[in-house]
Amino acid sequence: MSTPSAPRIRLLVVDDSAYNRRNIADIFLNVPEVEVIGKAADGEEALRLTTLLKPDVITLDLEMPRMDGFTFLRILMSRQPTPVIVVSSYSQKENVFKALELGALDFVTKPDRQITPDATELREQILSKVLVVKNWRPQALVPHGLRRPAPSGPWTPEGGRPTPVPAPPVFQQPRQLVAIASSTGGPSALLEIFSKVPPTSGAGIVVAQHMPDKFTRTFAERLDRRGPVRTSEAQDGDRVGLLTGFVCPGRQCMEVIRNNSNDYVLRVGPGAQTDRYVPSADRLLKSAASAARERCIGVVLTGMGDDGVEGARAIFNNGGTVIAESQETAVVYGMPAAAVRAGVVHKVLPLPAIAEFIAGLP
């Protein structure tokens, strides 16, 4: 008796270019796990086909006639939350993060308007991100676009600060060093965490988020607007101070060391052959464990794979605290699950509780 095969992932392709629709669909011609069930040229057609066909995942262009990708996302997430992979050009960085805040699962970048058959790397990225849907958590698909940006004050749709937050008059060391590892689903999770940190927090935050290099600076700027943590893309030699945040640049790795003045200083450079991921969460968390020891808080958020497990182990063994996002809220329960299985986690918390924990650091 033969074993029943796993159900195929049902994919809807949405792009106003017929050429792109065909080439995206062709990626899956010989992929038995995926079935392309429809194609749409704009948001209106995509909504109709989504209701009719109920796809498991959607690839989405943002710039379309009649109904653009943003309007489509807003309506989709309110009616029928579905994993969406945004396929956008390098020049549309702000649009990509706006889409993530509206509920998109992840994104793939294209160098120009057209997706050609010989764009091997791009086609492989689209394939891998669609296959991630096998591991996603339906209840975790919640838009982050219209949230309160801070514990108090009026909300703004773009998540900007309600009032200017003055910088500390002089550089101050953080009382706690928070090192965060994240991948698929991480941008939205990080936006929530950074929006909850109050001006009274004693934390400095460093982040290794798996993301293309052309997007990390824009993402850091987005985080900077969410609350009082002054956040930027890390540069070699930056000092981690009180209420400062740093995002590791794409295609680079970041470490935290102590200088002669005992400050936390960042070292940023190319990944090594031993780094399985670049940016490497393991490398960042290991260095944070060595630099901050019992004052280090390691956080492993949503993502595929197991990056961050060895770094979490180092924090655990050096007297710090390790938190893993729970299956309840992780969009992809891969990285946090690996840390839990390894036995190097002190707390397993849903995302809102992680945000509250970091917000409450003295």
- Decide: 160 and 61 in contact? Cβ < 8 Å: no
118 labelled catalytic: no
Tell me which H or E stretch contains 110.
Answer: strand 106-110
Please compute Rg for the chain using Cα positions: 20
Q: Which of 183, 188, 201, 280 is catalytic?
A: 183
Q: Write phi, then psi, for 139 (nearest 5 degrees).
A: -70, -10
Q: How many residues are there in the chain?
A: 362
Catalytic member of 106, 287, 307, 326 = 307
Question: Measured between alpha carbons, how far is 29 from 12 in angstroms, rounded to an integer?
Answer: 14
Question: Residue 307 catalytic?
Answer: yes
Give CB contacts under 8 A, 24+ apart, made by 144-148.
Answer: 144/100, 144/101, 144/102, 144/103, 144/188, 144/191, 144/192, 145/98, 145/101, 145/102, 145/103, 147/191, 147/192, 147/195, 148/195
* Active-site residue identified among 16, 56, 106, 210: 210
Is 210 in the active site?
yes
Q: Which of 334, 339, 323, 243 is nearest to 282 (CA)?
A: 339
Catalytic (active-site) positions: 183, 210, 307
